[in-house]
């Protein structure tokens, strides 16, 4: 075998297209130059189309978690009530950040593998009219759950609270109409559906959110949105920008916009449907039901005969295929297959074909081709499409 042939099928970092790699190889220019200001203006305009917003959108040099911390440090003053909605690892992370900065956090844990219950949210907002911020996750990658941000935005808009959404792994793969759905702050990152290496974060801010930010008393420096707003007036970033990453972002955004947002969302929906069909064709159990399953990543319960991490080791060693494992309470119990960003039909076929062979090596009896066949039926528009 070609031992260096690898297939990366995890929910970040995701594969980077050659077009993006080529763009990132361009010579460096000054990040305060007029030429780079032109790049930033162009890139920001494209980002607004992906965010589907007229609000400010900022580019930051950080991971996606940096965008989450930016949201919290600018919105949450010590003692502010924060409603944190969680159904997995990243919902918990958002809540931890709010606690770190002195927020009085009301933590609603809906359970790993479950989506947000809007009735619970409404009860908390009615019982606590002084809630300043609601924190939610669009796409909970630890469980493969996709939350209904449209419905949540409609609900929160009826209150004084602002809605901040972690869309780090969802934006660019799953529809999120920032303005239309009343989402005040949207956080995302480069290494997921944006098809870039880790290193950039993005955040949009509504007028309703700015009213909170301008009164905020939490000390901040690198993650100051007020500084970012001042600098973006001249198409500058507050601190040194990863120039090469912005070149790559420019190319990646072109790829997304050339495909068309609706087509991008439809592609992710098709890949998710085919993946889930293939998993069920192998007799394996999905972690979450179809009604709130992610379009970007599929979580699968390991069969009784082998734990998920052992199976993943076989996949990597024998076939060069990398799936993501479970986190915290899900460690060893699930594996996760990503189908986001620079992903297409053959990525799903490779994932399922390698899984079939690895399962056999681990003692799980599955008919070779059973999962691949079900995915193919979805792709060709057969009876399962």
| 13, two tokens | 């970092």
CB of 338 closer than 8 Å to CB of 324: yes
3-class SS letters over the chain: CCCCCCEECCCCCCCCCHHHHHHHCCCCCCCCCHHHHHHHHHHHHHHHHHHCCCCEEEEEECCHHHHHHHHHHHHCCCCCEEEEEECCHHHHHHHHHHHHCCCEEEEEECCCCCCCCHHHHHHHHHHCCCEEEEEEECEECCCCEECCHHHHHHHHCCCCCEEEEECCCCECCECCCCCCCCCCEEEEECCCCCCCCCCEEEEEECHHHHHHHCCCCCCCCCCCHHHHHHHHCCCCCCCCCCHHHHHHHHHHHHHHHHHCHHHHHHHHHHHHHHHHHHHHHCCCEECCCHHHECCCEEEEECCCCCCHHHHHHHHHHHHCEECEECCHHHCCCEEEEECCCCCCHHHHHHHHHHHHHHHHHCCCCCCCCHHHHHHHHHHCCCCCC
276 is in an annotated binding site: no
| CA Rg value for the chain | 21
Residues 6+ apart with CB under 8 A from 285: 300, 301
Cis preceding-peptide flag for 13 (omega within 30 of 0)? yes
Residues 6+ apart with CB under 8 A from 335: 299, 300, 302, 308, 311, 312, 323, 324, 325, 326
Binding site, annotated residues for substrate: 336
Per the annotation, where are the binding residues?
Answer: 336
């Amino acid at each position: 075998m070609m031992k260096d042939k690898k297939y990366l099928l995890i929910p970040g970092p995701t594969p980077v297209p050659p077009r993006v790699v080529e763009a990132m190889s361009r010579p460096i220019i000054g990040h305060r130059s007029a030429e780079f200001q032109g790049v930033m203006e162009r890139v920001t305009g494209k980002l607004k189309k992906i965010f589907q917003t007229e609000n400010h959108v900022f580019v930051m040099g950080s991971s996606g978690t940096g965008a989450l911390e930016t949201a919290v440090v600018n919105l949450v003053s010590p003692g502010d009530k924060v409603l944190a909605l969680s159904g997995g690892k990243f919902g918990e992370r958002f809540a931890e950040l709010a606690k770190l900065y002195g927020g009085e956090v009301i933590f609603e844990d809906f359970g790993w593998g479950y989506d947000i219950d809007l009735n619970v949210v409404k009860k908390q907002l009615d019982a606590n009219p002084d809630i300043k911020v609601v924190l939610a996750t669009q796409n909970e990658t630890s469980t493969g759950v996709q939350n209904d941000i449209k419905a949540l935005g409609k609900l929160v808009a009826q209150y004084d609270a602002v809605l901040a959404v972690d869309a780090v792994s969802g934006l660019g793969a799953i529809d999120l109409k920032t303005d239309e759905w009343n989402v005040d702050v949207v956080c995302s990152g480069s290494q997921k559906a944006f098809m870039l290496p880790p290193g950039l974060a993005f955040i949009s801010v509504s007028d309703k959110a700015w009213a909170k930010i301008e009164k905020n008393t939490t000390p901040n420096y690198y993650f100051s949105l007020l500084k970012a707003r001042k600098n973006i007036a001249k198409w500058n970033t507050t601190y040194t920008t990863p120039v090469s990453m912005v070149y790559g972002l420019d190319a990646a955004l072109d790829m997304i916009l050339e495909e068309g947002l609706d087509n991008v969302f439809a592609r992710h929906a098709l890949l998710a449907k085919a993946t889930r069909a293939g998993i069920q064709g192998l007799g394996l159990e999905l972690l979450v039901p179809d009604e709130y399953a992610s379009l970007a990543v599929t979580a699968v319960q390991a069969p009784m005969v082998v734990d998920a991490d052992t199976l993943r080791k076989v996949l990597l060693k024998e076939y060069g295929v990398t799936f993501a494992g479970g986190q915290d309470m899900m460690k060893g119990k699930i594996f996760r297959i990503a189908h986001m960003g620079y992903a297409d039909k053959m990525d799903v076929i490779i994932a399922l074909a390698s899984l079939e062979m690895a399962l056999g090596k681990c003692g799980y009896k599955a008919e070779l081709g059973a999962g691949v066949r079900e995915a193919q039926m979805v792709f060709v528009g057969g009876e399962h499409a």
